[in-house]
């Protein structure tokens, strides 16, 4: 904004030429001459000098309103440039140890990098035993964001990314699977959510002779199995000491056991689904949500905010996991 316009605005806010001149560190005659020269160029008077305190003419009111719009536009520009400067100098650290993290982070980080190519990304995928370690890294600010199903509302701010449906998957050649086939839904029906409501199961005694994979007691999947399958989860005895959900899924596809998994993992898995049977439990416990979380005691900066915006936009548009979000 030009100097003369800034002088006019200061006169307007002070409602006095003498007070404005003092605030601007210029003489009153010089200030009055500058304003008079601008009024002559515009072809109208901005101030009504006959009033005390000084007031605006009708044309002057329009001029001041326009100045304020220009000033707000300049402030907005400065904020955007300041944010851009902050973004260019920062690194973003994200983490996740679940099978879905391996599938989702390439999509999210790829889209984020296209929009913010100057950000340095650090991605920590941990290991099969490091979920708790990643929570510790988040707590100690070694991570900015963590992709997870669990969080503490007292310590974290959580951003929902994806709701998953827990389902039972069985290879059709597995012993006992043939008797279950009338209750199964196809992969296409499952992922498009087009199966009939009566296909949702409440009677899990159907699986009393089916071998399930055993999960570590206390793990998230173990807890889901106990809530959904109840006593029938206790019969699980196939393939122990495997903790990676992707490996569990691959072993299920090989016919080594039934598996409690999610529609998201099925959508992300590279294995063909033609030989698989899927069963949908009818209970509230069959739903769970995947979140991006951050520590509640750390202020959200523009880099974290922009990454969250990219991830949530991908989720809302169905591009985060297209096979599931048709």
Mean pLDDT (whole number) for 244-253: 85
My answer on whether omega of the bond before 236 falls inside 30° of 0, hence cis, is no
Give the pLDDT confidence score for residue 130 in this predicted structure.
57
Reported as a pLDDT band with limits 50, 70 and 90, residue 301 is confident
**pLDDT at residue 236 is higher than 60:** no
- The answer, yes or no, to whether residue 217 has pLDDT greater than 80, is no
Tens digits of residue pLDDT in 277-289: 999 999 998 999 9
Using a pLDDT cut of 70, give the percent of the chain over it.
Answer: 90
Tens digit of pLDDT for each residue in 113-168? 999 988 889 998 875 445 668 888 898 888 999 999 989 999 999 999 999 999 99
State yes or no: pLDDT of 306 exceeds 90. Answer: yes
**Residue 209 confidence class, pLDDT cut points 50, 70, 90:** confident
Dihedral over Cα of 51, 54, 59, 62: its sign: negative
Tokens 């000098």 label which residue? 49
Residue 247's pLDDT is 84
**Residue 118: CA count within 13 A, CB half-sphere:** 9
Residue 237 pLDDT greater than 60, yes or no = no
211's CB contacts (< 8 A; 6+ apart) are: 174, 175, 235, 236, 237, 238, 257, 258
Strand 287-295 vs strand 47-48: parallel, antiparallel, or unpaired? unpaired
- pTM above threshold 0.95: no
What is the Cα–Cα distance from 83 to 119, expressed in whole angstroms? Answer: 12
Where does residue 231 rank: exposed (0-12), middle (13-18), buried (19+ CB within 10 A)?
A: exposed
229 vs 66, more confident: 66
Whole-number mean pLDDT of the chain? 86
pLDDT tens sequence across 171-207:
999 988 999 999 999 999 999 989 999 999 998 888 8
What does the pLDDT read at residue 269? 85
């Amino acid at each position: 904004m030009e100097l003369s316009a800034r002088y006019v605005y200061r006169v307007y806010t002070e409602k006095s030429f003498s007070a404005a001149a003092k605030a601007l560190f210029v003489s009153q005659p010089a200030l009055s001459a500058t304003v008079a020269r601008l009024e002559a160029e515009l072809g109208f008077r901005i101030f009504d000098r006959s009033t005390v305190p000084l007031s605006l003419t009708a044309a002057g009111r329009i001029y001041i309103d326009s100045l304020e719009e220009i000033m707000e536009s300049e402030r907005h520009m400065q904020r955007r440039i300041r944010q851009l400067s902050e973004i260019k100098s920062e690194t973003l650290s994200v983490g996740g140890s679940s099978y879905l993290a391996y599938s989702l982070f390439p999509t999210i980080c790829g889209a984020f990098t296209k929009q913010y190519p100057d950000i340095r990304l650090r991605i920590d995928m941990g290991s099969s035993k490091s979920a708790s370690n990643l929570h510790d890294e988040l707590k100690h600010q070694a991570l900015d964001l963590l992709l997870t199903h669990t969080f503490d509302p007292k310590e974290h701010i959580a951003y929902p990314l994806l709701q998953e449906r827990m389902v039972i998957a069985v290879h059709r050649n597995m012993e006992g699977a043939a008797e279950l086939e009338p209750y199964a839904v196809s992969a296409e029906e499952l992922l498009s959510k087009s199966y009939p409501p009566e296909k949702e199961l409440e009677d899990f005694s159907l699986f009393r002779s089916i071998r399930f994979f055993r999960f570590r007691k206390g793990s998230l999947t173990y807890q889901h199995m106990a809530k959904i399958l109840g006593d029938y989860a206790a019969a699980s005895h196939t393939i122990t000491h495997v903790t990676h959900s992707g490996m569990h899924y691959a072993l299920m596809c090989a016919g080594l056991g039934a598996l409690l998994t999610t529609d998201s993992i099925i959508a992300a898995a590279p294995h063909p689904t033609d030989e698989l049977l899927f069963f949908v439990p009818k209970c509230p416990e069959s739903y769970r949500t995947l979140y991006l979380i951050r520590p509640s005691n750390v202020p959200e900066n523009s880099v974290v905010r922009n990454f969250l915006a990219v991830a949530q936009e991908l989720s809302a548009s169905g591009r985060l996991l297209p096979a599931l979000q048709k």
